[in-house]
Amino acid sequence: MTEGNICRIFVRNTFQTGEEQHRKTYRSPPVFSPNQYFVVMIKLFSLFAVAIIASVAMISCSTKSNPTTTPTTTDTSTILTALALPNGTAAPDYNSSTIESVWSSAAPLAVTASAIGDNFSGSSFPVTIKSIVSSQNIYFLVQYNDATENNFQQPLHFNGGDPKTSTNWTIDNTTYDDGVSLIFEDPANQGKSGTKTFPADGCTMLCHTTTTSQWDKGMFSETNGRYDLWYWHTGKGNGSGYADDKIALGDPDFKIRKDDDNAEIYHNNVIDDNPGFQPYLVAGGTNRNLDKRYFIAEETKQTFADGVPINPATNKAWAANDIVSAYSISLPQDPTNDYFDVHAKGYYSSGAWVVKFQRKLYTGASNLDTQFSSGNEYLFSFAIHNNNAPGNHYGAANKSFKLKMP
């Protein structure tokens, strides 16, 4: 390792130590700690918060919907009846863009997703959700139209000139990746917030948008409720096959936690040189067969400071308006870790997302994950994230949906 490498890595490590401050200032990581979540909510509901909201892959955190939105579908049900995978039929494959024919036998839940967020507007659109259950797993298929495929989360933007000059780089801090969140209430730990409950009020009951003498801002029930949170977003999920696996906890935590804080596979890739920035890594080699325009596989990465005259995303010399992901990604060292229970990938084609989830029915961690049992019912909600700070999203506030297990 050269002295330059040591220096650069040191800078990066220093940066990561100060990550909280950086993220508050420049961009929002889609993987958010509870503290970051509070930062989000503070900024989101501040008059001065515009594009620096820390990331919260959250379901409804405001009950305010855009009054101008026009639903384009009529919701006829709040029930999602999961289909038992027929004997002899292959299970859905989250690694395949094909919508398997078995999905046509699963009844869709059709929901109008409306804009949710403070001063956030956007047209409503229909979302369909289906579920299939095998002897081992539960599968979800989420489909919706989206005019733009957004794969970057506040990426680095090269403005031309010498790419080794940090001041030639900025961060596109109003750019966010697309995503889908699902959240499930643990039937054995149903929370309450004042008079609000998840069955009656949906995930709105989890949202604490102002700090009071009693509560910090955040997403939690005020009693000991548990809410299993799955967040697929393109920048991470389509480079790894995993959704974030979290838990929104009430008493005594009153916060959202990752199922394992130490198992993250989606890492900061921005060196803050103040002034200016540099990428830490760029794509290299086969890039683990990931698209070099969007993903940086750590297994085959190149270190930018070592000298990378050709942008691997374009196969040309660095040029103004080149974009580099603000995150690099690896596959997990231990796929059995509780943070990697939720497999998910999304497929974008012809102006629409098809997003597939897969999880074991039983993870064995009832303190972190909803355990799905045959014949039972589970209340849930969802959110669609479309190139917006995650506090601003689309969903159905003020009501919950019911998953019926076969």
Asked if 244 touches Ca ion (CB under 5 A), the answer is no
Asked if 178 touches Ca ion (CB under 5 A), the answer is yes
Query: What separation in angstroms does the CA of 182 have from each of 89, 252, 355?
Result: 26, 23, 12
Of the candidate spans 55-63, 119-127, 159-167, 334-342, the one that interacts with Ca ion by CB under 5 A turns out to be: 334-342
Of the candidate spans 44-52, 236-244, 360-368, 394-402, the one that interacts with Ca ion by CB under 5 A turns out to be: 360-368
Distance of CA 99 to the CA centre of its chain: 22
Asked if 186 touches Ca ion (CB under 5 A), the answer is no
Asked if 228 touches Ca ion (CB under 5 A), the answer is yes
Asked if 259 touches Ca ion (CB under 5 A), the answer is yes
d(CA 226, CA 228) in angstroms, rounded, equals 7
- How many residues at the interface with Ca ion, by CB under 5 A? 14
Asked if 201 touches Ca ion (CB under 5 A), the answer is no
Per-residue interface string for the shown chain with Ca ion, residues 21-40, x marking contact by CB under 5 A: --------------------
Q: Quote the DSSP letter at residue 262.
A: T
Q: Which of 345, 302, 290, 269 is nearest to 92 (CA)?
A: 345
Rule CB under 5 A: choose which of 302, 303, 325, 386 binds Ca ion: 386
Q: Which is nearer to Ca ion, 12 or 385 (CB)?
A: 385
Q: Which is nearer to Ca ion, 150 or 168 (CB)?
A: 150
Asked if 247 touches Ca ion (CB under 5 A), the answer is yes
Binding residues for Ca ion restricted to 127-156, rule: CB under 5 A: 146, 148, 150
Helix, strand, coil tally for the chain in percent (to 5): 15, 30, 50
Q: Which is nearer to Ca ion, 163 or 391 (CB)?
A: 391
Query: What separation in angstroms does the CA of 399 have from each of 75, 203, 328?
Result: 12, 7, 37
The answer to whether the peptide bond before residue 309 is cis (omega within 30 degrees of 0) is no
Asked if 264 touches Ca ion (CB under 5 A), the answer is no
Q: Which of 146, 148, 107, 147 is nearest to 130 (CA)?
A: 107
Distance of CA 177 to the CA centre of its chain: 8
d(CA 150, CA 225) in angstroms, rounded, equals 33
d(CA 299, CA 240) in angstroms, rounded, equals 12
Asked if 370 touches Ca ion (CB under 5 A), the answer is no
Rule CB under 5 A: choose which of 369, 388, 399, 403 binds Ca ion: 369
Least separation, in Å, of the C-beta of 173 and Ca ion? 17
Place of tokens 């289909």: 83
Least separation, in Å, of the C-beta of 10 and Ca ion? 34
Least separation, in Å, of the C-beta of 195 and Ca ion? 27
Asked if 341 touches Ca ion (CB under 5 A), the answer is yes
Any bridge partners for residue 381, and if so which? 183
Q: Which is nearer to Ca ion, 190 or 303 (CB)?
A: 190
Q: Which is nearer to Ca ion, 318 or 348 (CB)?
A: 348
Asked if 245 touches Ca ion (CB under 5 A), the answer is yes
Q: Which of 292, 309, 58, 349 is nearest to 162 (CA)?
A: 309
For residues 176, 179, 185 and 186, what is the CA-based torsion angle, rounded to 10 degrees?
A: -100
Interacting residue ranges for Ca ion, rule: CB under 5 A: 146, 148, 150, 178, 228, 245, 247, 259, 338, 341, 368-369, 386-387
